[in-house]
Amino acid sequence: MKRTPSKTVLVIGGGIAGMEAAARLRQLGLQPILVEKSDHLGGHVADWHKLFPDMSEAAALVEKGAAALDGVDVRLSTEILFVNRLRSLYNVMLSSGSNVQCGAIVVATGFSLFPAEKKEEYGYGIYDHVITNADLEKWFNTGEDPRVTDDVRKVGFVHCVGSRDLKAGNTECSKVCCITAIKQAIEMKEHFPEAEIYCFYMDLRLFGKRYEDYYIKAQRDYGIHFIRGRVSEVGENIEGKVVVKAEDTLSGRPVKVTLDLLVLMAGIIRNPDPLPYDRRGRIPPKQRQSRGHHRI
């Protein structure tokens, strides 16, 4: 296909958002190039097991998204070295050594998960049975993680780990953590029907369609306990079980529970914007580019 620079759109990031954007641009008759730094498409969803609120398979969504990329120039294991502005186009140098001229750039670089070990009081990386939401999804997919034992009877989920947290340097809400915790709690209950499951939350931000129903279902059909209050500290007892102290702000009392597994809902941190904007919010033209390469 002969490429027309003014109709070419560079999409940075091959996660679900980038895949969807590229597919729609193609449908509109444009010529998208999808650039992904890893060797596969799907971003975080590719590592997930099932999705809220309908428990659809994450892998199926990625497959469906990839199938819709017919006609899109997909470049995996490729990074952006630098971007500069020409008269009416953008000039982009890729790590593969090729050069792309395009009329527009879509930034879909997504997010990183908050490093849960920074919340030292929760003991991630210290105590044997403390994992993150991402670790749990890997376990759902592979069944392999020595921290999740076969005889799990009590599980806790800590919401807002490193999100809405001034002290942790991230005041933003992750938006999807609450509903993800509910999804994971239900999934755990399906794996371990006898288990008691506790969710420790500040407040539940369930804004999406059918999310509230999902929350009610978690309580009514799965018996999941929701405790409004922050976890203050986590320890380990002599049997290696996780001891969690929290405050139940509805009953106004401290609570202490001993768990077989504690899941930290690591919050979302927006990835830094990869483009070298100037003070007016524009990408500078080539001749004014003086800070060297911008690896993205």
Partner 1 sequence: MIYKGKQKIWSDYQKEIPSDHWFYVRSCIRQSFFPASEVHFVKIMREVLGKDLYETPHHTTCGGIAYHSDTIPQETAMTIVARQFALMKEAGYKNLVTSCITSFGNYVEIIETWREFPELETRIREHLWKACKREFDVPEYVAHASDLVYKFRNEIAEKAQYRLVDKDTGEPLHIVEHIGCHYSKMFPHKGVGGAEYPCVLSGMAEAWGGNVIDYPERRHCCGFGFRQYLVKANRGYSVSNTHKKFESMEPYHPDAIITNCPGCPYFLDRWQYVISEMNGKTYGQDGHGIPVLTYEELAGLVLGYDPWDLGLQIHQVGLEPLLDKMGIPYDPKKKYLGLNEKDIMKPGLPRHLKCC
Question: Residue 18 in contact with residue 34, Cβ under 8 Å?
Answer: yes
Report the nearest approach of partner 1 to the CB of residue 125 (Å): 4
Q: How far apart are CA 259 and CA 152, in angstroms?
A: 8
Q: Which is nearer to partner 1, 20 or 236 (CB)?
A: 236
Q: Segment 227-246, which members bind partner 1 (CB under 8 A)?
A: 233, 235-238, 240, 243
Report the nearest approach of partner 1 to the CB of residue 19 (Å): 36
Number of residues that bind partner 1 (CB under 8 A): 14
Report the nearest approach of partner 1 to the CB of residue 150 (Å): 21
208 binding partner 1? (CB under 8 A): no
Strands 196-201 and 225-228: parallel
Question: Residue 51 in contact with residue 61, Cβ under 8 Å?
Answer: yes
Report the nearest approach of partner 1 to the CB of residue 121 (Å): 5
Single out the residue of 90, 114, 127, 198 in contact with partner 1 (rule: CB under 8 A): 127
**Residues contributing to the site for partner 1 (CB under 8 A):** 117, 120-121, 125-128, 233, 235-238, 240, 243
